[in-house]
């Protein structure tokens, strides 16, 4: 089928409103229209969808679009219907979310020939009743989206995808177009072999996304870093990826408590909530989506300005695809990933539960991620090299390593030792074994092969194994060595490497990052906490005097302004602005504005006079404490839920609930329980207790209050009024 240039451009304008094709789109479409198998390797944002949508609308029959994205099929179908407003049956999806009536409607539309695009989940495609239905249709072609799911070496392997060729043969042969945004040469070959399309024409665009900035940070208080980044980029859309649902929920709660519009997205949410949160993000009612990696594929939001990986990604393919959701409009896109050795260890433990072959693959993919994270070389260069593409420049000036280069060292002698060792081993061993030989580590494997008798054994004992990891990584980037991933990471020497051995020359290489001393990762969200014994005692004495002076002037108890733990934290953090003061233990926004400026003035002068180096970062306050209970309590009080009902709903005793509320108030959050007090405590009694805390009490001690009030009031009543007093006066 041949089409003129005018015809294709007219169809493009008619259906999609575009005047010109993007990149290789037109060439891909012509190949499909010619009835040829087609392999499309196009980065996220490159316009893959149009490559099968336009020919489907032009060609006779129905195009079968196979996609793993059940949650997003409706969005894709709605988008097509949005372009073709006069035919609501132009596109349908077939998956497990449909009821009987909806299935009947789809079937009728297909058999009538009205449907041009049918989106099918692989799990639905293999059902016998669907196979029999599709056999009755004229199939224009099969489009296999996210084709990397076919390969065991891909980052999102789906076993159902391995059966697609057999199912296609059963339904009826037609051209195949396989599309993916991420595939190494190994994965490309695996896809083509499995689909029986080795002769397919390959359309491959550069993996380079020059507008994306890549950065790896040590995972040390990541919530603080994330909040700071978002606050410095107000109103910008961002996606934050976490490895598990619990962390997604916790982080979304933390962001909301810090006045950031954020929503969670993961498979554990009911479909209606997922769809609502997704739509809120797309309609820009929400700035931030915190999600598992289930979110993002198929999302056509061009102005995502940053993608943050809270956890270390499992593979570079996944990392590349997820970062590719930033800056799809060609504008700025910040890609920040937090890296920690503990994260890697957790991922390794997850791999251990899988079959041996999968374990080996998982380890290799994870090792590539570690290599990328720890390298001091241009990140763009490393990333493109992984996908079989050469970046022609020494640096990109748009990654952390290029903007803040690591020190260089002379590597000629180390590269020579390495290359000689690989040659002596006849290119039959992996990185770990090579390093053990060079560093003289006499393992059982080395003994069994008698490799300790090699001249290279122990040649690099003055350097650490981590250093030799650096040398191997750099040698691969320089194409002196290559790693055969399909052979589980065997290290081979290249022709370039052999030439270097014959005639070595000086090479300067950057040092790797060392995250060992920065690793402070754990599963619990950080909190601002009191640190005993490490605060500035002299400043504490000065501030304590000021506290009593202010309290006397305002005629309120000193503890109602700042309690001792708060003063101690202030004398650790040295806040010199109201915003910084708000981040100290027990200081809310109201308290900071009401009482803070006098203390700030004293601290500024003290810091200047003493030439004190302050902490570079202030902690961002959060109320999350290993669970979302406190968040739920705050939200319930805002809705004026009765406290006894709230306690019952969470399975708490009233005393336990009051403990939680007291912790919330002590951390600096203002709440109002007036609605509950008015219904449960006599007005005169409430006034009596309030007067005690205002004029008589020297501390907020509950024991002193009970003793002084002489049994006229219950402990619960005293605690409730104390909460009201502390929130009224102190916040």
**Total domains in the fold of the chain:** 5
| Residue 218 sits in the same domain as residue 366 | yes
Calpha distance 451→3 (Å, rounded) = 64
**DSSP class of 291:** E
Q: At what angle do helices 25-33 and 48-58 cross, to 10 degrees?
A: 40
CATH at residue 644? 1.10.10.1390
| Residue 643 sits in the same domain as residue 565 | no
pLDDT of residue 496: 93
Please, is 699 exposed, middle or buried when counting C-beta atoms within 10 Å of its C-beta (0-12, 13-18, 19+)? middle
Q: Which of 357, 386, 402 is the last residue of a domain?
A: 402
* pTM score above 0.85: no
For 266-280, how does the pLDDT look when each residue is reduced to its tens digit (9 = 90+)?
Answer: 888 888 898 899 889
Sequence-separated contacts (24+) of 124-130 with Cβ below 8 Å? 124/94, 124/95, 124/96, 125/64, 125/66, 125/164, 125/167, 126/160, 126/163, 126/167, 130/94
Q: Which of 216, 234, 253 is nearest to 527 (CA)?
A: 253
Calpha distance 128→118 (Å, rounded) = 17
Instruction: Quote the tokens at residue 48.
Output: 């893959």
462 is a domain residue: yes
pLDDT of residue 436: 94
pLDDT of residue 86: 64
CB 177 within 8 A of CB 32: yes
pLDDT of residue 660: 86
Instruction: Quote the tokens at residue 657.
Output: 């609930």
622 is a domain residue: no
78 is a domain residue: yes
Instruction: Quote the tokens at residue 582.
Output: 């708000």
Low-confidence ranges of the chain (pLDDT < 50): 1, 517-533, 616-619, 623-626
517 is a domain residue: no
First to last CA, the chain: 74
| Residue 713 sits in the same domain as residue 726 | yes
For 61-98, how does the pLDDT look when each residue is reduced to its tens digit (9 = 90+)?
Answer: 999 999 877 656 777 787 777 766 567 788 888 877 78
288 is a domain residue: yes
| Residue 603 sits in the same domain as residue 638 | no
The contacts of residue 468 (CB under 8 Å, 6+ apart) are 414, 418, 434, 435, 438, 439, 460
| Residue 47 sits in the same domain as residue 121 | yes
621 is a domain residue: no
- Strands 139-144 and 176-180, how do they pair? parallel
| Residue 664 sits in the same domain as residue 587 | no
| Residue 371 sits in the same domain as residue 245 | yes
| Residue 200 sits in the same domain as residue 286 | no
| Residue 385 sits in the same domain as residue 489 | no
| Residue 413 sits in the same domain as residue 379 | no
Q: Which of 402, 422, 442 is the last residue of a domain?
A: 402
CB 326 within 8 A of CB 212: yes
Boundaries of domain holding 344: 212-402
pLDDT of residue 360: 77
H or E element, residue 342:
helix 341-352
Computed from CA positions of residues 26, 27, 28, 34, in that sequence, does the dihedral angle turn out positive or negative?
Answer: positive
CATH at residue 441? 1.10.10.10
Helix ranges restricted to H, 375-494: 379-386, 400-403, 412-424, 431-438, 444-449, 465-477
pLDDT of residue 84: 67
| Residue 436 sits in the same domain as residue 565 | no
619 is a domain residue: no
Q: Which of 371, 402, 433 is the last residue of a domain?
A: 402
CATH at residue 158? 3.40.50.300
| Residue 363 sits in the same domain as residue 482 | no
Please, is 503 exposed, middle or buried when counting C-beta atoms within 10 Å of its C-beta (0-12, 13-18, 19+)? exposed
**DSSP class of 511:** P
Q: Which of 118, 270, 122, 97 is nearest to 195 (CA)?
A: 122
pLDDT of residue 632: 83
The helix/strand/coil state of 661 is helix
DSSP string computed for 60-120:
SSEEEEE-S-HHHHHHHHHHHHHH-TT-TTSEEEESTT--HHHHHHHHHHHHTT--SEEEE
Calpha distance 125→119 (Å, rounded) = 10
Calculate the CA 207 to chain-centre distance. 20
Please, how many CA atoms are within 13 Å of residue 692, restricted to the half-sphere of its CB? 24
**DSSP class of 558:** G
81 is a domain residue: yes
């Amino acid at each position: 089928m041949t089409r003129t240039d005018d015809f294709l451009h007219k169809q493009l304008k008619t259906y999609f409103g575009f005047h010109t094709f993007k990149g290789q789109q037109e060439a891909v479409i012509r190949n499909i229209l010619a009835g040829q198998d087609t392999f499309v390797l196009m980065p996220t944002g490159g316009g893959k969808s149009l490559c099968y949508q336009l020919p489907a609308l032009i060609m006779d029959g129905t195009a079968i679009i196979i996609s793993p994205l059940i949650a997003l099929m409706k969005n894709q179908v709605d988008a097509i219907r949005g372009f073709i407003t006069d035919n609501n049956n132009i596109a349908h999806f077939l998956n497990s979310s449909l009821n009987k009536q909806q299935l009947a409607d789809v079937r009728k539309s297909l058999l009538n020939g009205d449907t041009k695009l049918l989106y099918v989940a692989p799990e639905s495609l293999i059902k016998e009743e669907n196979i029999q239905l599709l056999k009755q249709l004229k199939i224009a072609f099969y489009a296999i989206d996210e084709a990397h799911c076919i390969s065991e070496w891909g980052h999102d392997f789906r076993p159902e995808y391995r059966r697609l060729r057999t199912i296609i043969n059963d339904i009826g042969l037609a051209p195949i177009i396989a599309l993916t945004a991420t595939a190494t040469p190994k994965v490309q070959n695996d896809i083509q072999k499995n689909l029986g399309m080795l002769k397919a024409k390959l359309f491959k665009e550069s993996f380079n996304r020059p507008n994306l900035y890549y950065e790896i940070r040590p995972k040390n208080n990541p919530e603080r870093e994330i909040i700071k980044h978002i606050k410095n980029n107000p109103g910008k859309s961002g996606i934050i990826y976490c490895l598990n649902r619990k962390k997604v929920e916790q982080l979304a709660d933390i962001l909301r408590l810090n006045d950031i519009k954020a929503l969670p997205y993961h498979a554990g949410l009911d479909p209606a909530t997922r769809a609502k949160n997704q739509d809120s993000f797309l309609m820009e009612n929400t700035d931030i989506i915190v999600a598992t990696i289930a979110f993002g594929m198929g999302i056509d939001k061009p102005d995502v300005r940053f993608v943050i990986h809270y956890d270390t990604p499992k593979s570079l393919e996944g990392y590349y695809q997820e970062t590719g959701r930033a800056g799809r409009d060609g504008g700025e896109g910040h890609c920040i990933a937090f890296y920690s050795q503990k994260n890697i260890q957790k991922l390794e433990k997850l791999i251990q539960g899988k079959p041996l072959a999968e374990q080996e693959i998982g380890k290799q993919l994870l090792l590539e991620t570690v290599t990328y994270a720890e390298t001091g070389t241009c990140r763009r260069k490393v990333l493109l090299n992984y996908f079989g593409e050469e970046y022609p420049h020494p640096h990109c000036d748009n990654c952390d390593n290029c903007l803040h280069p690591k020190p260089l060292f002379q590597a000629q002698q180390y590269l020579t030792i390495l290359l000689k060792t690989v040659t002596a081993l006849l290119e039959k061993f992996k990185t770990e074994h090579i390093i053990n030989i060079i560093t003289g580590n006499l393992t059982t494997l080395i003994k069994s092969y008698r490799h300790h008798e090699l001249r290279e054994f122990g040649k690099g004992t003055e350097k650490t194994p981590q250093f030799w990891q650096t040398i191997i990584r750099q040698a691969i980037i320089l194409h002196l060595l290559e790693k055969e991933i399909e052979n589980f990471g065997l290290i081979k020497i290249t022709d370039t490497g052999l030439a270097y051995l014959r005639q070595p020359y000086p090479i300067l290489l950057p040092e790797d990052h060392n995250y060992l001393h920065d690793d402070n990762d754990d599963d619990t969200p950080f909190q601002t906490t009191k640190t005993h014994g490490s605060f500035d005692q002299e400043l504490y004495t000065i501030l304590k005097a000021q506290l009593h002076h202010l309290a006397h002037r305002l005629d309120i108890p000193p503890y109602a302004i700042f309690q001792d733990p708060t003063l101690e934290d202030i004398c650790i953090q040295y806040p010199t602005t109201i915003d910084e003061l708000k981040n100290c233990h027990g200081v809310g926004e109201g308290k900071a504005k009401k009482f803070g400026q006098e203390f700030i003035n004293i601290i500024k002068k003290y810091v200047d006079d003493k030439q004190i180096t302050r902490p570079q970062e202030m902690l961002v306050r959060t109320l999350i404490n290993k669970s979302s209970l406190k968040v739920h309590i705050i939200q319930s009080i805002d809705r004026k839920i009765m406290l006894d009902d709230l306690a019952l709903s969470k399975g708490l005793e009233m005393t336990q609930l009051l403990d939680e509320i007291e912790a919330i108030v002590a951390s600096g959050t203002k709440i109002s329980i007036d609605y509950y007090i008015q219904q449960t405590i006599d007005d005169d009694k409430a006034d009596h207790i309030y007067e005690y805390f205002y004029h008589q009490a020297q501390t907020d001690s509950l024991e002193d209050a009970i003793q002084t009030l002489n049994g006229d009031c219950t402990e619960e009543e005293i605690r409730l009024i104390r909460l009201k007093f502390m929130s009224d006066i102190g916040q």
